[in-house]
Structure 1
Amino acid sequence: MADIKGPGCITEIFFTTDHVKLSELVLRIYWDNEEVPSVEAPVGMFFANGFDEHKHAVQSAVILALPRNAYSSYWQMPFKSHARITLTHEGTEDISCIAYRVMYQLYKIPEETMYFHVVYNRGMTCFDKPTYTILEGIEGEGCYVGTYLAWNALNSDWYME
């Protein structure tokens, strides 16, 4: 999706597709030639839409999601030398349309600037273990900015109250 030589800052990512299952599309962002991505999440989760066939609108300072598959991220994502964004289709159905735009500005980034990271986890709860840990094993300095949580039933005969 993007291969940017910096320094600079990604200011917007716009994404749309006709593919219903956003959970099958994985977004990865790598900073400064790292081998392991700092962002790795299904597209729907990244844009606060984790329910595939059931899209919902989101209007916040950093995420805009329109129910007909139009998504924008306004997170500021600085990088010191290089940014690379990839999109991988991990499903089996053909996709006829994907469109995107990555907006960025090139400028010097202060040495103490923090990098943007996304942690995606998936787990199950049950009567024996009714809790779900949001963050675990995070190390280093940073600024926690929030959580998007999508809780799905794995059985179609069960509904949540």
Structure 2
Amino acid sequence: MNRSFTIITLLLILGVCPLRIKAQQLYELPPDAETRWVSFENRTGDKGKGGMENKGAKGHPSEWINAGKSVTLLDFEGAGIVNRIWMTIIDRNPEALRAIHIEMYWDGAAKPAVSAPLGDFFGIGLGRMTAFQSALFSDPEGKSFNCYVPMPFKKHARIMLVNESKQNQLLFYDVDLIKVKKHPKDIAYFHAYWSNSSGVGLGSDFEILPRVNGKGRFLGTNIGVVADKVYGDTWFGEGEVKTFLDGDRKYPTLAGTGTEDYIGSAWNLGPFSQLYQGATVVDKQNKKFAFYRYHIPDPIYFHSDCRVTIQQIGGAGRDLIRAIARAGGRVKPISVGTSKSLIKLLDNPDYPDLFDDKFPADEWVNFYRVDNYSATAYFYLDKPESNLPPLAPLAERIKGL
């Protein structure tokens, strides 16, 4: 393998934006690389075997995947890198995008490295398709799925699509990859993990990524939030993202300052999409939000383990929080922001109770609350399997949509 191709391969594995690769590398010709596209028109990706049906005319662009059935998208022997996945289905309602899930297996592993709902995997939070463009995923017109995450493998790659929805689905797809003779020894395998906040109580953080063991890189996340309507129009997003690295337990090494701050915005949230950060769904009327952050220019490496969480914290005035509590909403004030300082209530047990008249009426109060969170975490790991639990069952995935 020539040196320039090795450098490009490593850059892609590390998630470096291809636009940063020197221009002359785009026209160099690595001798050992072979391009393959796998689709229904060439299921194996074999040389000279594409578009053979219907005497070379359009013969097999799609297939129906019946409810309860699965299909193998890729079953490829040898070493390579999946560079792009594109697909579309005929019925793209939110429940279907949670019911259908994608699985990826590397190098003969029995457990999938990727197991996530279709929409969430492709950066589409809450199953609500809208046009957006990021460095890793895109949906050009709100009706297709594109992934540009480089996924290397040494011996074998298998990608499955499982239709647990109630609808038969017409599927079009292609998986674009580079076949190589050999990889550097230190490649990392791509993983994705989906979870939701079912069972997470008041005062507990939601785990975006449960503790994963091994050496790797946290690549980022897309998160969906369905705010409980009992909280009215109060702000849900005071929660800070915390990343526990290499033995961190009670306190993390990396701590953010707030939800919209984590995705590069500030002072509440509006819709936007950029390369590394964005908010694809900001539906304040229906209390639904979806947003993403990809750590490409700001890598997060770990050497033994990694865990990522977000606090379930909102903010409002005293009287609004009192009304929420009276209506049965779960609340726990944790701090009061004044023009001079932040009063930390958990460090001040003698501070007046929320319903005490001495509790200030005209200040911003941060409080624990409980909303419906879901997230897809993306990471690279030095092995094709992780210690994480399997994908949640269908009923749990569609709850709250």
TM-score (structure 1 length as normaliser): 0.88
Q: Which residue of 1 aligns with 2:287?
A: 160
Q: Which residue of 2 aligns with 1:105?
A: 178
2:228–2:287 Cα contact (<8 Å) kept? no
The whole-number CA distance in structure 1 between the counterparts of 2:116 and 2:183 is: 25
1:13–1:73 Cα contact (<8 Å) kept? yes
Question: CA 1:127–1:81 in structure 2 vs 1: closer, same or farther (change >3 Å)?
Answer: closer
Amino acid in structure 1 at the alignment position of 2:202: D
Q: CA deviation at 1:125?
A: 7.0
Kindly indicate whether residue 144 of structure 2 is the aligned counterpart of residue 17 of structure 1: no
Structure 1 counterpart of 2:106, from 31, 36, 48: 31
Kindly indicate whether residue 248 of structure 2 is the aligned counterpart of residue 121 of structure 1: no
- Aligned pairs (5 A) from 1:1-161: 1-20=73-92, 21-52=96-127, 54-95=128-169, 97-107=170-180, 108-124=182-198, 128-129=202-203, 131-153=205-227, 159-160=286-287
1:24–1:91 Cα contact (<8 Å) kept? yes
1:24–1:89 Cα contact (<8 Å) kept? yes
Identify, as 1 or 2, the structure richer in strand: 2
Amino acid in structure 2 at the alignment position of 1:160: K
Structure 2 residue runs of 5 or longer lacking an equivalent are 1-72, 233-285, 289-401
Larger deviation, residues 138-147 vs 126-135? 126-135
Q: CA deviation at 1:119?
A: 1.0
The whole-number CA distance in structure 1 between the counterparts of 2:154 and 2:110 is: 16
The whole-number CA distance in structure 2 between the counterparts of 1:152 and 1:44 is: 16
Where 1:44 maps in the other structure, the secondary structure is helix
- Report % sequence identity: 29
TM-score (structure 2 length as normaliser): 0.37
1:48–1:58 Cα contact (<8 Å) kept? no
The whole-number CA distance in structure 1 between the counterparts of 2:228 and 2:156 is: 40
- 1:109-131 C-alpha deviation (Å, 9 max, x unpaired): 11110000101112237772453
Structure number with bigger Rg = 2
The whole-number CA distance in structure 1 between the counterparts of 2:171 and 2:110 is: 26
- 1:42-88 C-alpha deviation (Å, 9 max, x unpaired): 11011111223x31222111111134321110100000000000000
Question: CA 1:154–1:91 in structure 2 vs 1: closer, same or farther (change >3 Å)?
Answer: farther
Amino acid in structure 2 at the alignment position of 1:5: E
Where 1:143 maps in the other structure, the secondary structure is strand
2:200–2:206 Cα contact (<8 Å) kept? no
Structure 1 residue runs of 5 or longer lacking an equivalent are none
Where 1:150 maps in the other structure, the secondary structure is strand
Where 1:109 maps in the other structure, the secondary structure is coil
